[in-house]
Amino acid sequence: MKYRKFGNTAIELSAIGLGCMSMNHAYGEPDDAESVLTLEKALDLGINFWDTADIYANGANEELVAKVLKPNRQKIFLATKFGFQLNQGSSLTQFDGSPAYMKKAVEASLKRLQTDVIDLYYAHRIDPNIPVEETVGAMAELVKEGKVRYIGLSEASASSVRRAHSVHPISALQSEYSLLTRGVEEQILPVCKELNISFIPFSPLARGLVTNTLDITTLKDGDFRKSLPRFQEQHAKNNKGLTQEFAELAAAKNATAAQLALAWVLAQGDNIIPIPGTKRRKYLTENAAAVNIDVTADDLEKIESLLKKYPDTGERYGAANNKLVDKD
């Protein structure tokens, strides 16, 4: 494994982190036994940066992670998040970034994770009804109390990042970023670079789409991806052509499509640490090997040409999810 500096610190995080959400939330069927083995394998591979959230499986994801976190606490840099609440339909459409809710949320996370400190605590979104300065000010109190080491934001706009950073240093910004989702390139990546903030891409494999191994017709009811525009039939022909040709580019480099997609993300900046999610040791091992793939200028040019050839990839979110993305 290779490592990258975390924010404006001397902490070294694995260049490929581990997103734990899909172990028992949003995608497919849970397999706790395999997930635990995957977490243990992550340690063997030197993947020391793990990401969860209180809303994943309504807290059960944190409890699952805790099974391996607790006996290995000093080996793991753990991130979790707060703010989302489930509505009556079990959808993540309600968000509370208030200090009062945060204080309850952090105590619940600490209990589920069986730890006395969270290394990186994110506000899972920006609450449009509460000034970001108020949310971050309350999070800064957690740092003073020793319950949290560093503060992060998720899906925040460049202006919100600047406002938050003026209250307390923001060490990490997490947003979706992949070959198919590149909205952060204009403003977010530059502001992270300027302020020495680690940028943490979630869904760097476009929720499995760019791996060339996903058949969208097999997605089961309850799989979050079935509700996303990108995974609908009208984009299937475009995305199948794109992913097949991308896999051919990867094969020419003796890599899988997933590995080349992750290597592409890593090549966009040395402050970028993607967190692909998996519940399988097989895919974890495959993803980890992406750090050894060199993406050349010629590779980048070929990839850009391919993306232009297949532009109809579809939007990443529908209207309900887009409402919770902070915009300038």
Q: Kindly give, in sequence order, each residue whose CB lies less than 8 Å from that of residue 52, ignoring residues fewer than 6 positions away.
A: 20, 21, 61, 62, 65, 78, 79, 80, 81, 113
Tokens for 93, please give them: 């459409």
Of residues 27, 56, 101, 177, which has the active-site annotation?
56
27 as an active site residue: the answer is no
**DSSP letters for 97-118:** --HHHHHHHHHHHHHHHT-S-E
Give the CA-trace dihedral at 159, 204, 16, 301, to 10 degrees: -100
Give the bridge partners for 172, in sequence order: 152, 198
E strands in the chain:
3-5, 12-14, 18-19, 49-51, 77-82, 84-85, 94-95, 118-123, 148-154, 172-176, 198-202
Q: In 145-234, where do the E strands start and end?
A: 148-154, 172-176, 198-202
Residue 222 is classified by DSSP as T
Q: Other CB atoms closer than 10 Å to residue 85's CB: what's the count? A: 15
Q: Which residues are catalytic?
A: 56
